[in-house]
Amino acid sequence: MPFRKKPELLAPAGSMESLKAAVQNGCDAVYLGGKLFSARQYAGNFSLEELEEACDYCHLRGVKVYVTVNTVYKDKELPEFIQFIGKLHHMGVDALIMQDAGAAKLVREHYPDFPLHASTQMTSNSLADVNYWYEQGFDKVVLSRELTLPEIRHITEQTGAEVETFVHGALCVCYSGQCIMSSMLGGRSGNRGRCAQTCRLPYTLYCGYDKVAEGHLLSPKDIATVSILPELIEAGIASLKIEGRMKNPEYVAGVTRIYRKYIDMYFEDPEHYEVSLDDMKELTQLFNRGGFTEGYYTSRGGLDMMSVERPKTWGLKVGIVDKYLPQHKKVVIRTREPLVPGDGIEVWTSRGPHVGCQVTKHSKAGEVITLTLEGDIEKNDVVYRTYGKALHDALQKTWEKETRKLQIYGVLKARKGEPLALQLWDNMGSSVY
């Protein structure tokens, strides 16, 4: 394998819990937003005090902090915006992720040493785009999600900028940064941090007066690239970004842990890189919309990329209905995965709303179990586990106990008649005397 620098693993943090989940599960950097000026206004986000706490927590563990100020701003907002940037600069934020070119110019004028990353909202989908933003002072450019691997490789080979791409999580149906659908239909602008996710609504497609199709026709599946990580690394991508500032901490913990595992695996033994079925099941259980797609990395799009039946998470397929006894409200399920008390399951019925319940007993894969459930259930209906109790509990423990520490070295000098002298340093370039 030719020498490749190990790419950064960048994880989302919509709350302090998610931040700790990301850090304790192996990320190299986190991205998060403040209460203002962020493109995810419906995430938990961080107050100034919480941002400072987040910086201290991450930096003590060798993790970088990138703050998203990635919306477009109005003139009247700029004075408060610059004040906010000044506070981020003072507390030691490692970089800003930005969309607004005018606001970025103001940041460079006031804080010329503040590193800037060009948000995916800037729609950088060509070498000319990337080089332009690099010349404008952006150290890193987050590419549009619509590029193929050969296109990305073409860019990384001919630019001085670092390139970042999304490797897991939600996809937009529109070109990154170019969607005005939420504004037009919902009166809420995605470019102002208030996307109404109108692409996730049901639609009907007509050809003339004839109905052609209906369902969630504009709702893409989530992207998952763990199976093609070697190709992404070899394409020269410097930062691998997980989407999900509005996801729960367990999601952040699980996805970060798996991508950390496989990045390290590739660099330790690239010849035997292989993704386990159990890890794919875990990713599926955490969140999926009818399975995953490799996105535009390996295809030009199409119906296979869409989750037409349902825009929300499906869960993991765990069984098939063997029979239903409506008079007793009993459903008999032939399982394919083990179940534990506290698991939530859902039967996908062909008519009417899907129905579900909570599991109360342990069972092994392959067992036939009987549950009390009322609904329009038929033989061969598919059963999904929408909540995995065991996985949830296991992931929660990963950030409740401190496991990630930074080695610190020191020298203490004590000599009679002279003041004590203590020097401390780490391998990240920090030192104090």
CATH number of the domain where residue 12 is located: 3.20.20.380
pLDDT digits (tens, 9 = 90+) for 245-294: 999 999 999 999 999 999 999 999 999 999 999 999 999 999 999 999 99
Q: What phi, psi does 100 have (nearest 5°)?
A: -80, 110
Q: Which of 301, 335, 369 is the last residue of a domain?
A: 301
Average confidence score pLDDT of the chain: 93
Tell me: do 125 and 27 sit in the same domain.
Answer: yes
Instruction: Tell me if 247 is assigned to some domain.
Output: yes
Instruction: Tell me if 419 is assigned to some domain.
Output: no
Tell me: do 143 and 46 sit in the same domain.
Answer: yes
Tell me: do 251 and 365 sit in the same domain.
Answer: no
Instruction: Tell me if 425 is assigned to some domain.
Output: no
Q: Is the pLDDT of residue 367 over 80?
A: yes
Residue written as token pair 């000026």: 37
Tell me: do 335 and 289 sit in the same domain.
Answer: no
List, in sequence order, every beta strand (DSSP E) within 133-175. 138-142, 162-169
Q: Which residue has the higher pLDDT, 18 or 402?
A: 18
Q: How high is the pLDDT of residue 227?
A: 97
Q: Which of 301, 324, 351 is the last residue of a domain?
A: 301
CA dihedral over 50, 55, 60, 66, signed as positive or negative: positive
CB 124 within 8 A of CB 143: yes
Q: What phi, psi does 260 have (nearest 5°)?
A: -60, -45
Question: Predicted confidence band at 194 (pLDDT cuts at 50, 70, 90)?
Answer: confident
Tell me: do 150 and 272 sit in the same domain.
Answer: yes
Q: What phi, psi does 106 have (nearest 5°)?
A: -65, -40
Q: How high is the pLDDT of residue 42?
A: 56
Domain span at residue 124 reads 8-200+220-301
Q: How high is the pLDDT of residue 300?
A: 81
CA dihedral over 275, 280, 286, 292, signed as positive or negative: positive
Bridge-partner residues for 431, per DSSP? 425
- Mean pLDDT, to the nearest integer, of 315-338? 96
CB 426 within 8 A of CB 405: no
CATH number of the domain where residue 345 is located: 2.40.30.10
Instruction: Tell me if 404 is assigned to some domain.
Output: no
pLDDT digits (tens, 9 = 90+) for 56-115: 999 999 999 999 998 889 999 999 999 999 999 999 999 999 999 999 999 999 999 999
Tell me: do 296 and 321 sit in the same domain.
Answer: no
Question: Predicted confidence band at 36 (pLDDT cuts at 50, 70, 90)?
Answer: confident
Tell me: do 121 and 144 sit in the same domain.
Answer: yes
pLDDT digits (tens, 9 = 90+) for 160-189: 999 999 999 999 888 877 888 878 887 777
- Mean pLDDT, to the nearest integer, of 11-29? 97
DSSP string computed for 254-270: HHHHHHHHHHHHHHH-G
Q: How high is the pLDDT of residue 188?
A: 75
* Crossing angle of the two packed helices 277-286 and 249-268, in degrees rounded to 10: 150
Question: Predicted confidence band at 302 (pLDDT cuts at 50, 70, 90)?
Answer: confident
Q: Are strands 330-335 and 203-207 parallel, antiparallel or unpaired?
A: unpaired
Instruction: Tell me if 389 is assigned to some domain.
Output: yes
CA distances from 299 to 146, 176, 293, 392 (A): 10, 17, 9, 33
Instruction: Tell me if 424 is assigned to some domain.
Output: no
Cα–Cα dist 163/10, whole Å: 12
Q: Is the pLDDT of residue 428 over 80?
A: no
Number of domains the chain is built from: 2
Q: How many CA atoms lie within 13 A of 281 on its CB side?
A: 13
Q: How high is the pLDDT of residue 415?
A: 95
Instruction: Tell me if 330 is assigned to some domain.
Output: yes
- Mean pLDDT, to the nearest integer, of 18-43? 85
Tell me: do 174 and 271 sit in the same domain.
Answer: yes
Q: How high is the pLDDT of residue 41?
A: 54
Q: Are strands 203-207 and 95-98 parallel, antiparallel or unpaired?
A: unpaired
Tell me: do 104 and 235 sit in the same domain.
Answer: yes
Amino acid of residue 34:
G
Question: Predicted confidence band at 191 (pLDDT cuts at 50, 70, 90)?
Answer: confident
Q: Is the pLDDT of residue 3 over 90?
A: no
Tell me: do 293 and 325 sit in the same domain.
Answer: no
Question: Predicted confidence band at 44 (pLDDT cuts at 50, 70, 90)?
Answer: low
Tell me: do 175 and 271 sit in the same domain.
Answer: yes
Instruction: Tell me if 416 is assigned to some domain.
Output: no
Tell me: do 156 and 186 sit in the same domain.
Answer: yes
Question: Predicted confidence band at 206 (pLDDT cuts at 50, 70, 90)?
Answer: very high
- Mean pLDDT, to the nearest integer, of 198-211? 93
